[in-house]
Structure 1
Amino acid sequence: LWGVELDPTSTDPRIPVVLSKFLRANPGDFKAAETSLRSILVWRANFDIPTLLTSEDFPEELGENIGVIRPKDVKGRPVVYHQYSGVDHKAAFGDLDRFVRWRVQLMELSMLQCDFLHADSLLMIHDYAGVSIFSYDRYAKAASKKTISILQDNYPECLAVKLFIHIPWWGTSIYKLVSRWIPEATRKKISIVSTAETLSVLLTYIKEDDLPKIYQ
């Protein structure tokens, strides 16, 4: 699971770190934690994660212009950037199953960068610079809803912080709509950041030299 073999005979110090995610996601309920782990392992087998990581490629519209992993933050966590300006929603999100497989691949590659000794979760940054209020169409809405569902069901306690940056005046209203699908525990990890605040907030998490040039 995320590069850690869950061998009960192993003394690998990363194993309890991985398993603790399920206990934190189900506080005080060992049975629920066990059920969650089993369910996720079944989902991963059905989704065929090994093939996704080794044999699946995606078209240009699903690439670094939408999601990319960059150098780690000040706590050693992988940083995943999502940028939405200029994205052709029908091309990127129209094939929902394809988009979901791409998004899960990105999540898996991100988690594989965690060492589960110093860092076991991600910093996610969603950049809305230049995004129009009219861009939240049916394609974006369906992709957002499906992604939230899969990530919250199959990646417990894998999110450390999520920053929505360069949020325009209408962004808060859109977030309120989307947040209906987000668990309260996850909402507490989310910050809505205006354009004026973006750089200062980013610098609290990431060294300036590690920021993409567009933010420096």
Structure 2
Amino acid sequence: MAEVQGSKPEADKPETLKPDEPTTPIQELWTTAKAHSHPEVWGVTLADPASHIPSQIVLQKYLNANDGDVVKAQDQLTKTLDWRAKLQPLELIKKSYSKTKFEGLGYVTKYASSDEKTAQNDPETREIFTWNIYGGVKSIDETFGNLDEFIGWRVALMELAVQELSLPTATKPITASWDPYKIFQVHDYKSISFLRQSPAVKAASTETIKVFATAYPELLKEKFFVNVPAIMGFMYGVMKLFVAPKTIKKFHPMSNGGNLAKEFTETKVPGLGEKLPAEYGGKGVDLKDQGKEPLIE
């Protein structure tokens, strides 16, 4: 069952850091960040979290991902900054990808319980989804054969989803227990029972899991693997090597993708399940009509 986003008790409301407060774990992370040559994470140009809520959100996520361990959070943040400096994910969004290799394989959708303007400012009134439609792969060798190209496309899809969170303009800080700035992910494995034999797919899966575990902490709300063939078990083995146990608990394999909409009947967004595409049990239009994907040549 997906998370239920409820209202937060008054006593646990997050508060903005005060500039005159003594050193905190967040400030220690800020010291690490400002010493790095690369200034950006997830579209946020990092600044003093005492007065910049978007930076507070980013840095708090690294603390949350490491259960408050500052040293581990600093290490992960540094690795993320190194990786973003090298790969330049924001530039990958502007790049066009091969129609033959990637068209129709990934989408981002946003569902709001109120008007668009309100949803833009209130993270609790919207839900962001990424969809990976691996059953649409036309050629395993072409789509997965060039590992760097595949990772570039996959990262571009994730960055499109992160953009929908509107982190650079966020006005609500988060805590260790309250964080609505997260994304649902759906991986559809319909008609790909042959993938187990492909070294290219295994390499792409392993690298994607490693990258996302390091560079996108605490952005996952729930992850649904739908139309999963039994032989896909090798992927779960890889995930356990690189993904934290508390994250693994958010993973939900489903043999029938048509039941996906039922998983969202109790979420905060009214009627969310009905808005999903009909193929997944909802009443919405197809993903190609309601979603956005990385630029295609």
Q: What range describes the TM-score normalised by the shorter chain of this pair?
A: 0.7 to 0.9
Query: 2:286 is matched with which residue?
Result: none
Query: 2:25 is matched with which residue?
Result: none
* CA contact 2:102–2:143 (8 Å) conserved in 1: no
Distance 1:213 1:7, change over 3 A: same
Query: 2:35 is matched with which residue?
Result: none
Which residues in structure 2 correspond to 1:84-95 (within 5 Å)? 84-87=134-137, 88-95=139-146
* CA contact 1:166–1:198 (8 Å) conserved in 2: no
- Pairwise CA distance, 1:148: 0.4
**Partner SS state of residue 72, structure 1:** strand
Aligned-residue identity in percent: 29
Q: Is 1:99 matched with 2:150?
A: yes
Aligned counterpart for 2:260 among listed residues 185, 190, 198:
198
- Give the counterpart letter for 1:77 in structure 2: E
Question: What TM-score results when the alignment is normalised by the length of structure 1?
Answer: 0.86
Query: 1:72 is matched with which residue?
Result: 111
Bigger radius of gyration among the two:
2
* CA contact 1:73–1:123 (8 Å) conserved in 2: no
Residues 131-159 of structure 1, C-alpha deviation per residue, up to 9 Å, x if partnerless? 32x22221211110010011111111111
Question: What TM-score results when the alignment is normalised by the length of structure 2?
Answer: 0.64
Aligned counterpart for 2:96 among listed residues 51, 57, 60:
57
- Pairwise CA distance, 1:64: 4.6
Query: 1:82 is matched with which residue?
Result: 132
Residues 12-68 of structure 1, C-alpha deviation per residue, up to 9 Å, x if partnerless? 3222111111101122321222232222112111112343233x2110144352111
Query: 2:56 is matched with which residue?
Result: 16
Distance 1:86 1:41, change over 3 A: closer
1:83, 1:95 → 2: CA distance? 18
- Give the counterpart letter for 2:215 in structure 1: N
* CA contact 1:148–1:181 (8 Å) conserved in 2: no
> What is the aligned length?
213
Structure 1 unmatched runs, 5+: none
Aligned counterpart for 2:278 among listed residues 198, 213, 216:
213
Alpha-carbon RMSD across the aligned residues, in angstroms, is 2.5
2:241, 2:182 → 1: CA distance? 21
